[in-house]
Amino acid sequence: YAANGNGSSVPKCDIETSTDGTSWTKLDSVSFSNTRRLWKRTKMTYSGTTPVYVRLVQTGGGSKAMIFDIYILNQGDKTKSILDNVNDIDLNVTPVIRTEIYSLSGMRLSSLQSGINIVRTVYANGAVKVKKVLIK
């Protein structure tokens, strides 16, 4: 997911690949919108068979490109063989002890409200996950 940083100019970015981490080849360009804070999902395909490095390079534009998540999905034979050999995975899900909802000002809420909410989930193993939830 990418955004233009709430700037007035559209950034220009390229996705590049490299086999050695030194010389890079352009795979494709990422398209951004003039609309501020617009999230864009871009999918590109690399059809080579050798392992590669992947990078995002800003090539122009007055505002900074912001990249939030990059997922690299390898659906080749190597990945399939790794997945076939996976054993002893514990699929037990840690139970949730409590879920707390807060406003942006930090006030605790009894339920999700319109706008941005902060949701804090506490799990039985002690892990805590916090996320922002937008309710229109």
Radius of gyration of the chain (CA): 20
- Domain ranges (residues) in the chain: 2-80, 96-135
Classify the phi-psi angles of 86: left when phi > 0, otherwise alpha if psi is within -120 to 50, otherwise beta.
beta
Residue 82 predicted with pLDDT over 80 = no
Residue 64 predicted with pLDDT over 60 = yes
Cα 114 versus chain centre, distance: 24
pLDDT tens, 9-60?
667 788 888 888 899 999 888 766 654 544 556 667 777 777 788 888 888 7
* Cα–Cα dist 21/52, whole Å: 8
Does this model's pTM top 0.85? My answer is no
Which strands form 25-30's sheet, in the order they lie side by side? 25-30, 12-18, 53-60
